[in-house]
Amino acid sequence: MTIDRNELASRLTALTRDLILIPTTDSRPAERERCLEFIQNHIEGLEEVSIQSYESNGYRSLVAGPQSPSSPDILMCGHIDVIEHPDPDSYHSTIRDGRIYGPGAGDMKGADAVMLELFRTLHAKHPGLSLGLALTSDEERGGADGVRFLIEEVGLRAGIVIVPDGGSLNEITIEEKGVLHLRVRRHGHSAHGARPWLGTNALQLLLERVTALQSYFSVNWPIETDAGQGHWYPTCSLTIVETPNHSPNRIPSEAAATLDIRFPPPHTFGSMLDDIAKILGPDCHLEPLMTAQPCHLDPDPLFCEITESITGSPARLIRAAGASDSRFFRQAGIPVNLSRPLVGNLHGEDEWLDIESMVTYYQICQAYIEQKLSLT
């Protein structure tokens, strides 16, 4: 099928911009519902396609596919949620220099538009096609009520999954680091700020241990400023420090710090937690908030070949510091093709998506699906 690139570009651009206009943030469940309704309208009425809706703890997901959509040969998977921006009016887009700028343009409403159009077009052309689509609404907060729920509790399976939420047009992710979001608490004893000898300063003692932990990381795994090595070593970022104390003249009796720790194999969540507990010492109470093991994605060589032939340049297999919903598919043994259009400034106010690359990505996925399912 020859695709008119210009027509496809304008269709995908319009759909992406419509999706960006719906502020599907964590604090706005009604907008997330509205977005899923909009999506459902877009793919309704296709022959031999069923659409199921699932909900877990207020987070809804849509799964569409052939009559029994629980295990299509190829599943396309995305999320509709976007991160919260301080300015509630920032959820719209502009077009400049061949790019769509706007919150969620790159992560991942442009990719959602590609999957919706592909799903519609291919099912209209080949009724009964073994191609599924899963869209969740909680990826930015960890995916427990989205992809994890669909895999572990609904029993969703697939031959292979296309997840356009990592890598780049010519960069296919083969490995992702593991994640440990850890809250560390320290208790002490409050006293007047003028008489520190009467108290035990929980905040100060906590920060001493956290500083010791950070030097443990920087001595063992110094941060490389150039990404030549792919930053393939453990990192520890201090992201939140809290104390219930609001008085400048009171020594706090409680304090908590939150750390975002990332690690490649052979480290595991268990081995990292053991190391960290030793450095922080027995007086710190550790509470893991979110954990994920590092994982290998096992992409299909055919997807890499098609990427190369359509873009005319080599596909690089890369390792990623960030994690995606892919890990839940891997836990069920399902291989993942993780790449996407050209995007930038993700989660920033000027997040963008390159329109031409969105069309190219569409063509890559279409060719892959057609060859894999022997439609050509």
Nearer to Zn ion, 28 or 185 (CB): 28
Q: Min. distance of Cβ 79 from Zn ion in angstroms?
A: 6
Which residues, in sequence order, are CB contacts of 1 under 8 Å at separation 6+? 125, 366
Nearer to Zn ion, 275 or 351 (CB): 351
Residue 351 in the binding site for Zn ion (CB under 5 A): no
Nearer to Zn ion, 107 or 171 (CB): 107
| Two tokens, residue 108 | 């991942």
CB 173 within 8 A of CB 339: yes
Question: Site residues for Zn ion, window 206-225 (CB under 5 A)?
Answer: none
215: buried, middle or exposed (CB in 10 Å: 19+, 13-18, 0-12)? Answer: exposed
Q: Which of 165, 171, 176, 351 binds Zn ion (CB under 5 A)?
A: 165
CB 180 within 8 A of CB 273: yes
Nearer to Zn ion, 83 or 286 (CB): 83
Nearer to Zn ion, 107 or 354 (CB): 107
Question: Site residues for Zn ion, window 284-313 (CB under 5 A)?
Answer: none
Residue of 82, 128, 80, 112 lying closest to 12 (CA atoms)? 112
Question: Site residues for Zn ion, window 63-122 (CB under 5 A)?
Answer: 107-108
Candidate ranges 97-105, 158-166, 244-252, 308-316; the one touching Zn ion (CB under 5 A): 158-166
Please tell me the distance from the alpha carbon of residue 14 to that of residue 273, in angstroms, as a whole number.
46
Q: Min. distance of Cβ 104 from Zn ion in angstroms?
A: 9
Amino acid in the structure at residue 11: R
Q: Min. distance of Cβ 84 from Zn ion in angstroms?
A: 14
Which residues, in sequence order, are CB contacts of 275 under 8 Å at separation 6+? 216
Nearer to Zn ion, 107 or 275 (CB): 107
DSSP 8-class letter at 56: E
Q: How far apart, in Å, are the Cα atoms of 222 and each of 208, 315, 338?
A: 20, 29, 28
Q: Min. distance of Cβ 343 from Zn ion in angstroms?
A: 10
Amino acid in the structure at residue 203: L
Q: Min. distance of Cβ 324 from Zn ion in angstroms?
A: 6
Amino acid in the structure at residue 272: M
| Two tokens, residue 353 | 């998506």
Candidate ranges 164-172, 207-215, 232-240, 333-341; the one touching Zn ion (CB under 5 A): 164-172
The strand pairing partners of 200, in sequence order, are 189
Q: Min. distance of Cβ 26 from Zn ion in angstroms?
A: 13
Nearer to Zn ion, 123 or 340 (CB): 340
Q: Strand runs (DSSP E) across 143-198, as ranges?
A: 160-162, 171-176, 178-187, 191-192
* Gyration radius of the chain's alpha carbons: 23
Nearer to Zn ion, 145 or 165 (CB): 165
175: buried, middle or exposed (CB in 10 Å: 19+, 13-18, 0-12)? Answer: middle
Q: Min. distance of Cβ 31 from Zn ion in angstroms?
A: 17
Question: Site residues for Zn ion, window 36-65 (CB under 5 A)?
Answer: none
Q: Min. distance of Cβ 165 from Zn ion in angstroms?
A: 4
Q: Contact positions toward Zn ion, by CB under 5 A?
A: 107-108, 165
